Amino acid sequence: MLSEREFLARLPRPVSHFLGYRAEAPKPPAKYLVHFWSFIAAFAGLCTVQAIFNYSKYFTDRGVPGLIASYGASAVLVYGALESPLAQPRALIFGHFLSALVGICVTKLFSLMPNEARFNSLRWLAGALSSAIAIVVMQITETTHPPAGATALLPALDDAVWDISWYYLPVVLLSSTMILAVALVVNNIQRRYPVFWISPPKPQPTLPQPNGK
């Protein structure tokens, strides 16, 4: 069975390059280039997501928020801390989605309270419980992405998110996909992203040195 690296290496070079593959470890770019491309990528990524949700009649008719707030924090990781395990595609996509699922499920359970006033009085508790459960779920699935803690919190505390109900899940999935798509293009111009897709590369075994060194 091909490893992730072997599979990427077999793709056409332009494709593999923008999927993060490098035959040799790239040299780190100058700091001013890191700052420049972090700005460009974050601006382009967040604008892309907001353009979709603010100007598409399909989404505006459904009352979808222009941007799920937690993606501002995701931009810091995905565009500014490219090598962090917390910024890789697996964490970005599944961390947000699983947290959104937890947030909706927990808040839906709290909404079964006898009346709306009682539910509203306990939404703070639903939010805290959602984030706590989401953390554990991300740990178990190895998809920890810190901004997703807010994604779990929002169904309980943000009326706009609560109003779209289960539709929150595809909105989060699309938002993550767009953030990732921009990252694959802009982050690979003079930098490299992702470091891995599914699991981190295994460390290469160290050859024994002569004379026991």
The domain total for the chain is: 1
Higher pLDDT, 173 or 28: 173
Is 100 within 8 Å of 152 (Cβ atoms)? yes
- In the structure, what pLDDT confidence band is assigned to residue 200 with cuts at 50, 70 and 90? confident
Cβ-Cβ contacts under 8 Å for 159 (sequence gap 6 or more): none
Instruction: Look at residue 145 and tell me if it is in a domain.
Output: yes
Mean pLDDT of the chain: 93
Query: What tens digit of pLDDT does each residue of 37-94 get?
Result: 999 999 999 999 999 999 999 999 999 999 999 999 999 999 999 999 999 999 999 9
Q: What is the mean pLDDT of residues 184-208?
A: 82
Instruction: Look at residue 205 and tell me if it is in a domain.
Output: no
| Residue 172 pLDDT > 70 | yes
Token pair 């970005």 is found at 92
pLDDT at 206: 55
* Containing structural domain, residue 144: 12-20+28-197
Instruction: Look at residue 1 and tell me if it is in a domain.
Output: no
d(CA 197, CA 209): 33
Instruction: Look at residue 204 and tell me if it is in a domain.
Output: no
| Residue 8 pLDDT > 80 | yes
- In the structure, what pLDDT confidence band is assigned to residue 3 with cuts at 50, 70 and 90? confident
Q: How many CB atoms lie within 10 A of CB 126?
A: 23
Instruction: Look at residue 4 and tell me if it is in a domain.
Output: no
